[in-house]
């Protein structure tokens, strides 16, 4: 059983701070590293796998520093985001090359075992250039697993993979976690994390924003204040009526395009959705349009960082 520990880790590139004072522990089982594009996920994974040196702080695996530590590298497997550069090799050749780089005593047997582990045996003797995206991901996974590492790090493994292959890959990662491995994968999609991650770490703008099981993260996201734009037959009367609602935190009447609209900030989406039709009907107002204003994942994440 292995544990990765980040202690006040930062990493900057010139004056860009990609990872900002992050402390977290990643233990056995499957952990999802969730964050929007540019949040610092790839940089964190590069730091965890020893490809990058922290600019500040320490990054350890079971108490040993990761950076420039060959003994630690032997216990880590990395599935990078980028495509395999040697697509002219067969899956078997690609995996075996890694087995040889690790100087395994029986590279052929280790290759066979890794290919079986990811269910790629049937296609192992075809060149990687003929593989689907999901198969290429599995070839990278086999190569990362060939030396049987305790820790497996995967950068956006589900990106561009079709739904069937995605399920397959999810099952594989779940199995790795059940075997007692420490598995961490990054994603910018909440639903991907939901299916398999026992634990979720959220990063936004290089900072550690939240940590917990999926339910806790989901609650943090849905309990945030939400903004809506409403257009109706009488916006002024609607704005006045909305002010009295307990689920409404703020109301303003705006005229951005000459025609009016009501901007509402609500604290409880469910209550607001139930109250609005009744309220409009009793005031004789027709609601023409109701649009969430800040539903982007970025805004959800930004809220998490501020809270």
Ligand X SMILES: Nc1ncnc2c1ncn2[C@@H]1O[C@H](COP(=O)(O)OP(=O)(O)OP(=O)(O)O)[C@@H](O)[C@H]1O
Considering the rule CB under 6 A, would residue 151 count as an interface residue with ligand X? no
Pairing of strands 199-204, 29-34: parallel
Residue ranges in 180-239 that form contacts with ligand X under rule CB under 6 A: 188
Return the exposure string of 249-274: e unless at least 16 CB atoms fall within 10 Å of the residue's CB, then b: eebeeeeeeeebbbbbbbbbbeebee
Considering the rule CB under 6 A, would residue 157 count as an interface residue with ligand X? no
- Give the Cα separation of 141 and 114 in Å (integer): 8
The 8 Å CB, 24+ separation contacts for 284-288 are 284/234, 285/232, 285/233, 285/234, 285/237, 285/238, 285/241, 286/232, 286/233, 287/230, 287/231, 287/232, 287/238, 288/231, 288/232, 288/233
Considering the rule CB under 6 A, would residue 38 count as an interface residue with ligand X? yes
**Binding range to ligand X, per CB under 6 A, among 37-45, 126-134, 260-268, 275-283:** 37-45
Please select the residue that binds ligand X; options are 31, 43, 165, 226, rule is CB under 6 A.
43
**Binding range to ligand X, per CB under 6 A, among 41-49, 50-58, 268-276, 296-304:** 41-49
Binding mask of the shown chain, residues 9 to 28, with x at each position contacting ligand X by CB under 6 A: ----x--x-x----------
Taking the C-alpha atoms of 33, 36, 39 and 40 in order, what is their torsion angle to the nearest 10 degrees?
Answer: 40
Please select the residue that binds ligand X; options are 6, 22, 30, 42, rule is CB under 6 A.
42
CB 142 within 8 A of CB 120: yes
Please select the residue that binds ligand X; options are 8, 23, 25, 37, rule is CB under 6 A.
37
Please select the residue that binds ligand X; options are 6, 34, 39, 251, rule is CB under 6 A.
39
Q: At its nearest, how many Å lie between ligand X and the CB of residue 14?
A: 6
**Binding range to ligand X, per CB under 6 A, among 35-43, 84-92, 208-216, 236-244:** 35-43
* Residue numbers at the binding site for ligand X (CB under 6 A): 13, 16, 18, 35, 37-43, 188
């Amino acid at each position: 059983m292995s544990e990765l520990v980040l202690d006040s880790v930062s990493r900057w590139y010139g004056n860009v701070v990609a990872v900002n004072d992050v402390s977290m522990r990643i233990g056995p089982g499957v952990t999802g590293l969730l964050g929007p594009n540019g949040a610092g996920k790839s940089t964190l994974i590069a730091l965890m796998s020893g490809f990058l040196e922290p600019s500040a702080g320490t990054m350890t695996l079971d108490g040993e520093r990761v950076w420039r530590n060959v003994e630690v590298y032997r216990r880590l497997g990395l599935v990078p985001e980028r495509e395999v550069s040697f697509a002219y090799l067969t899956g078997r050749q690609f995996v075996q090359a890694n087995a040889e780089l690790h100087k395994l005593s029986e590279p052929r047997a280790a290759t066979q075992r890794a290919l079986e582990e990811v269910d790629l045996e049937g296609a192992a003797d075809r060149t990687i250039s003929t593989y689907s995206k999901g198969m290429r991901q599995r070839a990278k996974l086999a190569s990362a697993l060939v030396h049987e590492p305790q820790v497996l790090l995967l950068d956006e493994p589900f990106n561009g993979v079709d739904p069937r292959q995605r399920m397959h890959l999810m099952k594989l990662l779940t199995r790795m976690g059940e075997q007692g491995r420490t598995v961490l994968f990054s994603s910018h999609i909440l639903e991907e994390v939901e299916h398999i991650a026992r634990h979720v770490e959220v990063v936004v703008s290089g900072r550690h924003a939240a940590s917990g099981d999926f339910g806790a993260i989901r609650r943090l996201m849905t309990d945030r204040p939400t903004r809506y734009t409403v257009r109706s037959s009488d916006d002024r009367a609607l704005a006045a009526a909305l002010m009295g609602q307990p689920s409404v935190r703020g109301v303003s009447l705006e005229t951005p395009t000459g025609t009016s609209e009501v901007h509402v900030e609500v604290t409880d989406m469910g209550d607001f959705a139930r109250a609005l039709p009744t309220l409009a009907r009793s005031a004789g107002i027709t609601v023409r349009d109701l649009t969430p204003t800040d539903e982007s994942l970025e805004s959800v994440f930004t809220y998490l960082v501020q809270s």
